[in-house]
Structure 1
């Protein structure tokens, strides 16, 4: 049988096929995704689950003139392959390659850049309203959103607004009962009842929002999908199509373990078995240090609570949820709710560890300021994935947190040098709760396998002198300091450099800073966050405020959005990898 996928350069080629050929194309598209992702890694399960939907959407609608918005974008691999990027798909998420998420600058078929959830309905509605104003009455606007994402407040805001309009908007709910981890909440239960035909409610909640509701429809039946989308194409106003899919569809292990195969790393394309590397005597992941330490602390302190917005596996909050299911809560994709929920608990004397990826805390900035910091509630924020995160790229890098947190009164900011210091600050933060604290740490492994040591209290606001030096003071915060340690270990002029670790970005150790600026005429700061408003900026501000005239050089992430690639590639681009630092130090 002749292959079909190799002849498709765009959806125009797809539309030349007969409907009878579409199942074969779906099979080839699945195999292609599996072949590439098994070697190059990436998000697997979500894209496998929407293969039929992806084909049907581009087959029925006149993309890119009709506007298609994918929520989050984990599931857009098939979309990319069918829209002219098949031959480059093996560069997915690599330095200089295509993005793992929809990206407007990459293709006219990527109508809206995504990476964070629950934006698709608002974006597509905005497009639909604009089309109305321009008189483009036949243009279609389609938002594809998952059952985890639609539970977010922003998605409901979009639905609430859309229901008041006559905008030509089709919202497709891709219901597979899972995001990265299983979906949670009352809405999930409602959708389950609808799918199983046992919904006792007389009123459909979507219809009550003035949407024309259809479904549920089998999202893997191409014939039914095409016919239903053709019908939807003839309708006007806000419509809602509920389809049911299986995440990981077409790959047995991915269907059976949907959490593991969301982004499994390298795996055997034939058997599906994930390729693992022996992990004996290797440093732990920072996420596991957090999760396992939290369980230890919770065993000692019954007031400890854990909160995560939809990331129990990724953040390792799963350990707390398993050990203390009543004291660890997955609130779903609801960062704003997570922060204010933590604040409410803190008012009642609970010690709350609120674990949110750095990039996602940006979504709860108002709550962080008004509901926590303004009331000086001692919530402990654990900012996972701080710094450069690698292949997920610009939407996921946690490089802004120091800059956007440093200006908030009452908020303490701490960045541990290694996993032992992370363990100790988690311990210290719950002993004498005063101000709220944000603890930032990276994705990936620490420095030593020997990390489970007795707890030690970290003195608030104190820097640590790691190395004496004669001419230049190096000031670092967080784990990027290990790059500096390694660069100095192999530097011919290492004796010139003193190295100070500022775990506390705020409050800074002013006593140490006065000593540094009195002793050294050259100060270099290094951070894995943006240089604009970040740690280095705080040091420069201190020097200006106190009249010091040392030469200050600030190294970190430049004032631009950093693309996707390996951590090594990205650190090299920013000039903060070990080799780049060693080269810089050689000039002093």
Structure 2
């Protein structure tokens, strides 16, 4: 299958993979020699590069775990042994080895493979993951369930292994340490593989480190250590504690890992995660270890390993569009309007130029949220706190108490992880923290795990929270300025992924909007379309379709969900036979707020036909954004069809209401 052409470069054919072709499932590798496994790894890397060149996706992380993936599947009895990958964006080699190679070039495409692990996709995916730092908690749950089932009459004896692979970036999240603390106390047999690909934890690795790791993970050493521990427990308490500390100290001097030892884990490593000669014997030792303390294996890898462009620029090749394998050149879309993320970044910089109290906070997503540009301009006013959304929100709340103006830029789907902090630490105290929610609505290839479907509903129920949604690029700039100027409590601004519409000029600096005031863009008399967010252009197209049917239509932009522009809402309800709200959010969002107000004003009692159009009550699979919105019924044609259906064939011919 040919690589899609990138301008100026020839297409690239699929690589030859004679040994990988013999691997349908992991068990096919378990009689391979070490040299054969090395060849499988080389071919697997080439296959991964070629596949992602055609689909786009998370390349660098997947290339970094090729040898680790081969080694784990060759040593352990997956899927009986449970293998949990944290986040899941490094699992493309895992998918290729586990019966999904024939579909790997459908990755992240409509109807194709997910870009993350997914229980419904394969028995080799025991836990779905696309958000970070969940693997140790899930793995511990599986290990404890395994242990409990041994005591259930009639249950077969189960000694399966549970292996959780987590990156050093994911270890910045508190949930990982909560799980490790619990695992260390419970003493269930669990293997955690720490994939350190930034050299942020590990000292240099080499032959001596590999030898020591093999030694301390071996059964004789573990048995001797356990025997000495039992003997030490017979000593008086002070001597027992001294013996235990001496053991930890001695191994800490040789290998590091004192932090993990203090949490109750038996630490092994660091070892070279690209050397099968190092990985295979250590993994076999851990597989064969008897029940006891959970074990942490520390492996050091390199993102993009084996592909020169990805090795040279790990950030650019973390997530890629389609690219040419030979040159590494990524396909570029033709020039178009600026992305919403870029507009947000520029608008925030403009506000920060005028107000030194404005600071920006993100949770390990500076480039994804546009704060990398802000950081270049204001390095001392930008704070990347790591994958720690809960901390990010309360950290911002603390700054707000001292008069700073924090903007917390987090994807809508990731802010879910900090919901209690938003309620308790920000809203309850009426602190003016500004939430910038990127990726609101459906997000395309990343699918349901990354869709910003719920923020209108989960923030809309919080008292005194100001909610606004940008209908276009200019509105986004105005709303950033509005958030910056509002000091009376928390605000949240949502905007979608991708490019804007390019239909309006973006001001150099936004204008402060009146809080809780919408706008009317087109006036009519039969149907009122009230949009909240970026479906406004679809509403205008729907109005054109209705006009072609002889139906007069008003189109309004709510701008705010809270406080609601009640005057506008009541006007639309009184002056039209049909009123439809449109939003890129779940049930329980903007439409529900409008409907509640109309009900209490008695405006639903006089024959008004009210229809809230929201995302359906299902998880929407990955596809192109255009296809997703057509699928869920938020396109112009569907909006117009609902308006006609609400009017009815007879109503469409009646005079409009006075």
TM bucket, shorter chain: over 0.9
Q: Which of residues 173, 197, 207 is equivalent to 1:152?
A: 173
Aligned residue in 2 for 1:406? 460
Distance 1:316 1:494 in 2: 44
Q: Give the Cα separation in 2 of the matches to 1:472 and 1:203.
A: 66
Q: Distance in 1 between matches of 2:416 and 2:509?
A: 34
* Equivalence for 2:398: 344
Number of the residue aligned with 1:538: 593
Describe the SS at the equivalent of 1:402. helix
Q: 1:70 to 1:463 in 2, by over 3 A?
A: same
User: CA–CA distance in 2 between the matches of 1:513 and 1:330?
Assistant: 40
* CA distance in 2 between partners of 1:65 and 1:202 (Å): 32
Query: Which among 328, 339, 343 is matched to residue 272 of structure 1?
Result: 328
CA contact (8 A) 1:266 1:274 kept: yes
Q: Give SS of 1:84's match.
A: helix
Instruction: Please state how far the C-alpha of 1:323 moved relative to its aligned partner.
Output: 1.0
Query: In the superposition, relative to structure 1, how do residues 199 and 576 fare at CA in structure 2: closer, same or farther (>3 Å)?
Result: farther
- In the alignment, which residue of structure 1 is the partner of 2:559? 503
Cα distance in 1, alignment partners of residues 308 and 147 from structure 2: 45
SS of 1:359 mapped into structure 2: helix
Q: How does 1:231-310 map to 2 (within 5 A)?
A: 231-235=285-289, 236=291, 237-279=293-335, 282-310=336-364
The CA deviation at 1:380 is 0.5
CA-CA distance at 1:494 after TM superposition: 6.8
Deviations 1:376-421 (A, max 9, x none): 0000100010100111111100010001110001111000111111
Aligned partner of 1:183 in structure 2 is none
136, 143, 162: which one aligns with 1:121: 136
CA distance in 2, matches of 1:270, 1:455: 44
Is the contact made by 1:488 and 1:494 (CA closer than 8 Å) also made in structure 2?
no
The DSSP-based 3-state class of the residue aligned with 1:58 is helix
- Give the total of aligned pairs: 574
Structure 1 regions of 5+ residues with no counterpart? 179-187
- Separation (CA, whole Å) in 2 of partners of 1:408 and 1:283: 34
Q: 1:283, 1:450 within 8 Å by CA — same for their partners in 2?
A: no
SS at 1:354's partner residue?
strand
Provide the rounded CA distance (Å) in 2 between the counterparts of 1:400 and 1:579.
24
Alignment partner of 1:49 is 2:64: yes
1:561 corresponds to 2:582: no
1:466 and 1:544 map into 2 onto residues whose CA distance is 25
Instruction: Say if 2:427 is the partner of 1:373.
Output: yes
Query: What do residues 234-289 of structure 1 show as CA deviations (whole Å, max 9, x unaligned)?
Result: 2233000000000011111101111110111111111112122342xx21111111
The CA distance in 1 between the partners of 2:205 and 2:542, in whole Å, is 58
Distance 1:143 1:498 in 2: 55
CA contact (8 A) 2:410 2:437 kept: yes
SS of 1:42 mapped into structure 2 = coil
1:7 deviation in Å?
Answer: 2.2
Aligned to 2:276: 222
Query: How big is the alpha-carbon RMSD for the aligned residues of Structure 1 and Structure 2?
Result: 1.9
Distance 1:20 1:418 in 2: 57
Q: Comparing 238-247 with 10-19, which one deviates more in the overlay?
A: 10-19
Distance 2:412 2:26 in 1: 37
The partner residue of 2:161 within 140, 145, 149 is 140
The answer to whether the 8 Å contact 2:360/2:407 transfers is: yes
- Deviation, structure 1 residue 137: 5.1
Q: How far is 1:337 from its partner?
A: 0.2
TM-score in terms of structure 2 length: 0.85
Q: 1:396 to 1:129 in 2, by over 3 A?
A: same
C-alpha separation in 1, matches of 2:102 and 2:66: 18
Give yes or no for the alignment of 1:529 onto 2:550: no
Which residue is 2:539 aligned to? 484
- Aligned partners of 2:82 and 2:162 also within 8 Å: yes
Q: Which moved more, 1:41-50 or 1:493-502?
A: 493-502
* 1:105 is aligned to 2:159: no
Using the TM superposition, give the Cα deviation of residue 194 of structure 1 relative to its aligned residue in structure 2, in angstroms.
7.0
Structure 1 position 559, deviation (Å): 0.8
What residue number does 2:111 align with? 96
CA distance in 2, matches of 1:81, 1:113: 17
Give the match for residue 505 of structure 2: 450
Identify the residue that residue 67 of structure 1 maps to in structure 2: 82
- Paired residues of 2:481 and 2:509 also in contact (CA < 8 A): no
Q: What TM-score do you get using the length of structure 1 for normalisation?
A: 0.94
Moved more, 72-81 or 446-455: 446-455
In terms of fraction of residues, the more helix-rich structure is 2
| Match status 1:173 vs 2:194 | yes
